[in-house]
Amino acid sequence: QLRPPIVFFILTAILFTSGCRSKEQVQMAGSSGGRPPAPVVVAGVEQRDIPVQIQAIGNVEAYQTVQIRSQVNGQIQKIFFKEGEDVRQGQPLFQLDKRPFQADLEKTIGQMKHDQAQAENSRIEADRYSGLEKQGIISHEQAEQLRTQAKADASAVEADKAAVDGARVQLQYTDIVAPIDARTGTLMINLGNLVKANDTPYLVQLNQVTPIYVTFFV
């Protein structure tokens, strides 16, 4: 049989231990049951294009511009387009009076033919005098003079050929064509006006709009 003080001590120890355990369980229960879980929305993964639109103010600019000027002096005789009309590369735009340039071409051709005949005659004379020189009939100086003249006449023919080519080019410049596919702008010079080579103002400005530039800031 236990004594009463010993029994009281044992019961006190048991109650203290049970109290500690209960307090720990309460603390653990309090810590585990804190803030409730946040709600989560779940959706299936999907891949698609997302349209993004940005509005901005911009300026439309021509892809390329060409200012048409005459390369020779002359009078505008024909105009083959209207303002704002689309033209193709190589399409005629203007035609100047061809008569002065045609006359110059014929003049240079006539001069070339004259010099060709003169050069041929000088060549024949030089060959004849060379033969006489070999026979001792004429001196070396006389024969050499004829040969020099023949060379000079041949050089004159070459210069005439260059002049004819230049006159043909000048005649071709009377037909002014579009260098690119473009849209015509305002006509600056009207029919019948006199124009000068590379003069200001230009005849018309061509604006290439296909493709086209758009300049804007975002």
Per-residue confidence (pLDDT) for residue 10, from 0 to 100: 56
Report the candidate in 120, 175, 119 with the shortest Cα–Cα distance to residue 152.
Answer: 119
Instruction: Encode pLDDT of 146-205 as tens digits.
Output: 899 999 999 999 999 999 999 999 999 999 999 999 999 999 999 999 999 998 889 999
Residue 26 has pLDDT above 80, yes or no: no
| Nearest-angstrom CA–CA distance, 15 and 102 | 134
Q: Considering the chain, what is the average pLDDT of its residues?
A: 86
Task: Judge whether 212 and 63 are in contact, CB under 8 Å.
Answer: yes
53, amino acid identity: Q
What are the residues facing 68 on neighbouring strands?
A: 204
| Nearest-angstrom CA–CA distance, 15 and 115 | 145
25's tokens:
């369980």
Per-residue confidence (pLDDT) for residue 37, from 0 to 100: 85
Instruction: Encode pLDDT of 113-139 as tens digits.
Output: 999 999 999 999 999 888 888 888 888
E strand residue ranges, 100-196: 175-177, 182-184, 194-195
